[in-house]
Amino acid sequence: MTEIDDVAPERAAELRAALARVKDRVSDAERAAGREPGSVRLLPVSKFHPVGDIAALAAAGVESFGENREQEAREKAAALPGVKFHMIGQIQTKKANSVARWAAVVESVDSVRLAGKLDRGVALAVERGERAEGELPCLVQWSADGDPERGGVPDADLDAVCAAVADAAHLRLAGLMCVPPLGADAEETFTRARAIVDNLGDGMILSAGMSADLEAAVAAGSDLVRVGTGIFGPRPLA
């Protein structure tokens, strides 16, 4: 299990100040877009950063964090049982059972097969007493350019993957996640993603926007922005 290192008061203050700055950016973006204050959620992305940093932000009121790597996230979830973690990175199907034990939300479902594995993983975790909730909210990761190397579901397969999540006994389709392709117009990508989400039905959310492009994401209708560097600073070496 990952141990929680003591966080220096200076580091804790630095994290709180960075969090406040990003929250201000989100609020400013909401106002600029004419959106309701507080309508956009902020998910700090803690990949590679120590458990102590997460604990410091949790003490400041942050309830949920995003993680990209299964083993790292699992260890952090075990060390901080009161904190919720979103899985936002690609998931190998062989790791689905493990993800189903600790994830509060999965934002990176990218195949019918993975949806089936996560569904069975949640059922098994509940049966073994490793998970309290019998339903796992899931976002389907959409690929704007169809590049399989970058993860995500191309347009041609999107309906099938969304249906697989929606029909699973232990999963709940919660919306869509996307990352703009390198060199693409971010706001155009986010606008396309918003249109897809609106066609999925009521109550669906769009998770889009990171440190560099959160304003464009909010303007296009994102409901959740995922910010790592803007809050934690540069990632430590893996």
Instruction: With both helix axes pointing from N to C terminus, report the angle between 155-167 and 112-127 in degrees, rounded to the nearest 10.
Output: 20
Q: Which residues pair with 194 in a beta bridge?
A: none
Cα–Cα distances in angstroms (integers) from residue 111 to residues 145, 149, 157, 179, 216, in the given order = 16, 14, 8, 17, 28
pLDDT digits (tens, 9 = 90+) for 55-71: 999 999 999 999 999 99
Q: Measured between alpha carbons, how far is 158 from 172 in angstroms, rounded to an integer?
A: 16
Q: Could you give the percent of the chain with pLDDT greater than 90?
A: 91
Which residues are CB-contacts of 10 (< 8 A; sequence separation ≥ 6)?
none
Q: Measured between alpha carbons, how far is 100 from 238 in angstroms, rounded to an integer?
A: 24
pLDDT digits (tens, 9 = 90+) for 85-120: 999 999 999 999 999 999 999 999 999 999 999 999
Predicted TM-score of the model (pTM): 0.95
Reduced to 3 states (helix: H, G, I; strand: E, B; else coil), residue 224 is strand
User: Domain residues of the chain, as ranges?
Assistant: 9-232
Does the pLDDT of residue 205 top 80, yes or no? yes
pLDDT digits (tens, 9 = 90+) for 208-228: 999 999 999 999 999 999 999
Quote the DSSP letter at residue 183.
Answer: T
User: Is 9-232 in CATH node 3.20.20.10?
Assistant: yes
Q: What is residue 237's predicted lDDT score, i.e. its pLDDT?
A: 60
Q: What is residue 183's predicted lDDT score, i.e. its pLDDT?
A: 87
Asked if 217 and 209 count as a contact pair (C-beta separation under 8 A), the reply is yes
- The number of beta carbons lying within 10 Å of the beta carbon of residue 237 is 5
